[in-house]
């Protein structure tokens, strides 16, 4: 076959056809190095060896080391795991907070071609049993805090051959029920800090994270080395989280929740200082790290940041060098955006899910949005955001057609890209992609002419009143701006005439009071009449999911017939 002329135009009939006789020029003359997780570790160790990594330990004290020492210990851990028989394709579970032990596992396990399965300790015990068995975890690395939990389920997870406690021998009383346990510190101390990382394809599985399973059993999302490295590159970009070597990053989203939104890998890629806040996720502890360590950026769900804000406001403290926070998991409340802004911090909304690694969209301006007047721009940035390179999105209407990008026509959101799942572990849920290769997110929303997507609801939370949709997210946002309200949930309840009507449930701030009439008059000029909740209930506590979101399913089950009683 002759060489290809660089301006050669493929004939229509050959477009998309794989050539059967590759020539030298088909291949490209670039080195073919796989995008694997150990390359991130080795990059940080070589190029940012003295940059600090910190963890708050279980007793509240701070453990401090740097990327060179971190990499040494991760390699020691990989050697120790190899000695325990872990190899390509094995699954190693972790049940742990955000600390240096866990972070080392994030590199040691996938570095061997094995899968790091981050088990969410906040799930119900029966769900934890289910996912450990479903994932076929061979070894379980357990935080000292979760030993009791594991002891309570040990008879139901017979596939786990070995339990390793994250700490030193003697850090907890010997756990009698787990057989001969090993201790991480003792294990790695016996190993050299060097390793020849095994070579494997970048498409090899690296991490496993189960969705919290608000309906049905949790499903396993299996990340690959390639998807992880590409996602890290993407989050680091200036229009996304804008991560750099000058940053100090504190992931508050748990390492077991969509891998802490990719920050453990993104931080090594850029050589940012890294802070692991441990189990102390209250306002005072987090704020202390932010101020003392010079945190510039962090990530987490709004509930966490509310605690930080409340503490800072109560004590009249500044937020140190904090510049921006990646906030997602649920919609960013306007009030939170404003409160952070008052302290000089920009709250950047991200939308995504475990299945999208998790970055799907991010709410930063593009040229068009930057030209808007301040008010309009503020409103724009409260949308879930625009697409980074690497994510394609379509909004599909009931008749299967695509919605126009008009900022109002809402439909089902589907996504496609190299860090988006193509299905679930062991085929659960069946074939997920449509004929065009898009994944169904289960969210409902629209896209505007500026390219910004806005979620109006999760498909299972949608309120359909007389055939029209009411956006629970919009109403909740307005309600949480009321000074007495701490949290708000608007849910669909049964109505004999309209099928469904919105019911508003709120929890109140300490010492505050509120009744239905107050709330309805507050909402009067803020939402259209038919969106007005049919009733307002003040409840003592919101049921929360294992990932820090309001468990609307529980509320719906409890209140479904609330209006039917009238």
**DSSP structure string for 276-305:** E-BT--SHHHHHHHHHHHT--EEEE-HHHH
Q: Is 469 noted as a catalytic residue in this protein?
A: yes
Residue 91 near residue 18, CB atoms below 8 Å: no
User: What per-residue string of b and e applies to 261-279 under the rule 16 or more CB within 10 Å gives b?
Assistant: bbbbbbbbbbbbbbbbbbb
Nearer of residues 79 and 259 to ligand ADP, judged by Cβ: 259
Q: Which residue of 353, 369, 410, 492 would you call a contact of ligand ADP, by CB under 6 A?
A: 353
Token digits of residue 42: 């080795």
Contact map string, positions 312 to 341, toward ligand ADP, x by CB under 6 A: ----------------xxxx----------
Query: Is 296 assigned a catalytic role?
Result: no
User: At closest approach, how far in Å is the CB of 16 from ligand ADP?
Assistant: 32
Active site residue 355: yes
To ligand ADP, the closest distance from the beta carbon of 2 in angstroms equals: 50
List 211, 306, 545, 547, catalytic entry: 211
For 89, other C-beta atoms within 10 Å of its C-beta total 12
Q: Does 206 bind ligand ADP (CB under 6 A)?
A: no
Nearest approach in angstroms of CB 158 to ligand ADP is: 27
Cβ burial 13-45 (10 Å sphere, 16+ → b, else e): eeeeeeeeeeeeeeeeeeeeeebbbbbbbbbbb
Is there binding between residue 452 and ligand ADP (CB under 6 A)? no
Position 357 contacts ligand ADP (CB under 6 A): no
Considering only residues 470 to 529 of the shown chain, the ones binding ligand ADP according to CB under 6 A are none
Residue 228 found at the interface with ligand ADP (CB under 6 A): no
Nearest residue to ligand ADP by CB is 212
Assess 351 for contact with ligand ADP (CB under 6 A): yes
User: Per the residue annotation, which of 368, 416, 464, 526 is the catalytic one?
Assistant: 464
Cα–Cα dist 25/448, whole Å: 42
502, two tokens:
């919105």
* CB of 106 closer than 8 Å to CB of 129: no
**β-bridge pairing 139-143 and 115-118:** unpaired
Among 118, 306, 349, 456, interactor with ligand ADP by CB under 6 A: 349
439 bridge partner residues:
415
Q: How far is the CB of 301 from ligand ADP (least distance, A)?
A: 9
Question: What is the DSSP pairing of strand 182-183 with strand 162-166?
Answer: parallel
Query: Under 8 Å CB-to-CB from 359, ≥6 apart: which residues?
Result: 231, 234, 235, 240, 261, 262, 350, 352, 388, 391, 419
Closer residue to ligand ADP (CB): 289 or 555 = 555
Q: Measured between alpha carbons, how far is residue 96 from residues 22, 100, 144, 165, 412 in Å?
A: 49, 10, 8, 10, 35
d(CA 559, CA 414): 31
Note whether 441 binds ligand ADP by CB under 6 A.
yes
- Are 505 and 563 spatial neighbours (Cβ–Cβ below 8 Å)? no
Touching ligand ADP, residues 241-300 (CB under 6 A): 258
**Which range in 45-53, 281-289, 436-444, 558-566 contacts ligand ADP by CB under 6 A?**
436-444
Q: Which of residues 48, 75, 458, 495 is near ligand ADP by CB under 6 A?
A: 458
Active site residue 464: yes
The binder of ligand ADP chosen from 39, 94, 354, 380 (CB under 6 A): 354
Q: Which of 197, 469, 498, 560 is catalytic?
A: 469
For ligand ADP, which residue of 55, 290, 455, 485 counts as binding (CB under 6 A)? Answer: 455
Dihedral pair phi/psi, residue 38, rounded to 5°: -60, -25
For residues 545 to 564, the per-residue mask of contacts with ligand ADP, x marking binding by CB under 6 A and - elsewhere, is x-x-x---------------
**Alpha-carbon distance values, 73 to 54, 70, 100, 537 (Å):** 14, 5, 10, 52
The reply on whether position 212 binds ligand ADP by CB under 6 A is: yes
| C-alpha to C-alpha distance for 108 and 101, rounded to whole angstroms | 10
- Number of chain positions touching ligand ADP (CB under 6 A): 21
Minimum distance from CB of 446 to ligand ADP (Å)? 13
Please pick, among 202, 355, 476, 500, the residue that the annotation labels catalytic. 355
Min CB(388)–ligand ADP separation in Å: 14
226 vs 458 by CB, closer to ligand ADP: 458
- Report, as residue numbers or ranges, the catalytic residues: 211, 355, 464, 469
Judged by the rule CB under 6 A, the positions of this chain that interact with ligand ADP are 211-212, 258, 328-331, 349, 351-354, 384, 441-443, 455, 458, 545, 547, 549
């Amino acid at each position: 076959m002759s060489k290809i002329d660089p301006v050669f135009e493929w004939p229509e009939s050959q477009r998309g056809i794989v050539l059967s006789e590759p020539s030298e020029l088909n291949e490209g003359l670039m080195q073919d190095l796989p995008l694997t997780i150990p390359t991130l570790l080795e990059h940080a160790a070589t190029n940012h060896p003295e940059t600090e990594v910190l963890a708050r330990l279980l007793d509240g004290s701070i453990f401090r080391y740097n990327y060179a020492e971190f990499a040494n210990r991760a390699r020691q851990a990989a050697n120790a795991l190899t000695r325990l028989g872990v190899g390509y394709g094995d699954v190693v579970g972790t049940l742990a907070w955000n600390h240096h032990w866990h972070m080392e596992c994030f590199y040691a396990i996938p570095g061997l071609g094995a899968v790091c399965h981050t088990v969410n300790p906040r799930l119900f015990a029966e769900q934890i049993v289910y996912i450990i068995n479903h994932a076929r975890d061979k070894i379980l690395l357990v935080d000292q805090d979760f030993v009791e939990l594991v002891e309570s389920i040990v008879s139901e997870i017979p596939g786990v051959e070995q339990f390793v406690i994250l700490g030193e021998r003697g850090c907890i009383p010997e756990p009698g029920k787990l057989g001969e346990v090993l201790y991480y510190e003792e294990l790695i101390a016996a190993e050299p800090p060097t390793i020849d990382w095994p070579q494997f394809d970048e498409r090899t599985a690296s991490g496993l994270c189960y969705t919290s399973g608000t309906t049905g059993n949790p499903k396993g999302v299996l990340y690959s080395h390639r998807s992880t490295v590409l996602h890290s590159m993407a989050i680091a970009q200036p229009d996304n989280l804008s991560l750099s070597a000058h940053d100090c990053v504190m992931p508050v989203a748990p390492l077991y929740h969509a891998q802490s939104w990719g920050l453990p890998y993104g931080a090594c890629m850029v050589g940012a200082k890294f802070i692991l806040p441990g189990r102390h996720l209250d306002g005072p502890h987090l704020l202390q790290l932010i101020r003392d360590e010079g945190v510039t950026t962090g990530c987490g769900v709004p509930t966490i940041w509310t605690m930080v804000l409340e503490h800072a406001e109560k004590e009249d403290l500044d937020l140190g060098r904090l510049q921006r926070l990646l906030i997602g998991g649920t919609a960013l409340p306007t009030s939170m955006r404003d409160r952070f802004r008052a302290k000089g911090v920009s709250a950047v909304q991200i939308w995504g899910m475990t299945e999208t690694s998790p970055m799907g969209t991010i709410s930063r301006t593009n040229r068009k949005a930057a030209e808007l007047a301040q008010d309009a721009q503020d409103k724009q940035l409260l949308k879930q955001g625009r697409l980074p390179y690497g994510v394609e999105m379509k909004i599909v209407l009931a008749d299967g057609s695509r919605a126009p990008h008009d900022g109002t026509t809402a439909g089902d959101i589907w996504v496609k890209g190299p860090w988006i799942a193509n299905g679930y572990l062991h085929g659960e849920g069946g074939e997920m992609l449509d004929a065009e290769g898009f994944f169904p997110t289960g969210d409902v929303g629209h896209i505007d002419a500026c390219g910004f997507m806005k979620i109006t609801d999760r498909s299972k939370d949608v309120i359909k009143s007389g055939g029209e949709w009411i956006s629970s997210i919009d109403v909740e946002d307005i309600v949480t701006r009321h000074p007495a309200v701490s949290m708000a949930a608007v849910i669909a309840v049964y109505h004999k005439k309209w099928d469904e009507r919105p019911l508003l449930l709120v929890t109140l701030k300490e010492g505050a009071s509120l009744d239905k009439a107050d709330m309805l008059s507050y909402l009067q000029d803020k939402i259209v009449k038919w969106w007005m909740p049919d009733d307002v209930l003040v409840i003592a506590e919101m049921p929360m999911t294992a990932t820090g979101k309001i468990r609307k399913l529980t509320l719906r089950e409890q209140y479904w017939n609330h209006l039917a009683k009238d």
